[in-house]
Amino acid sequence: MNDAATCLEELGLSHAASLAQRQARILGSLQYPLARGDDQTAAAQLRYLAPLYAQLHTAVAAALDNVI
């Protein structure tokens, strides 16, 4: 996701890039609770992560609508 954020930023899609960067941080932060077996923390992070995919889709779609 960090690579995607970089690409989105280079395309001038700052909002989409910030959403992808947030996703990258959340995904990275999942490693520790999963390794420790802390399912509650991992589940909470996944619940926070899930809606970001729809937000990213909306941001990219809106940017594409402005281009076309």
Look up the domain containing 11 and give its range.
Answer: 2-67
What is the average pLDDT across 6-15?
Answer: 94
Domain count, the chain: 1
Q: 39: burial class by Cβ within 10 Å (0-12, 13-18, 19+)?
A: exposed
Q: Which of 1, 8, 24, 22 is nearest to 60 (CA)?
A: 8
pLDDT tens, residue by residue, 23-61: 999 999 999 999 999 999 999 999 999 999 999 999 999
CA dist list (Å): 44 to 8, 12, 19: 27, 31, 18
pTM: 0.86
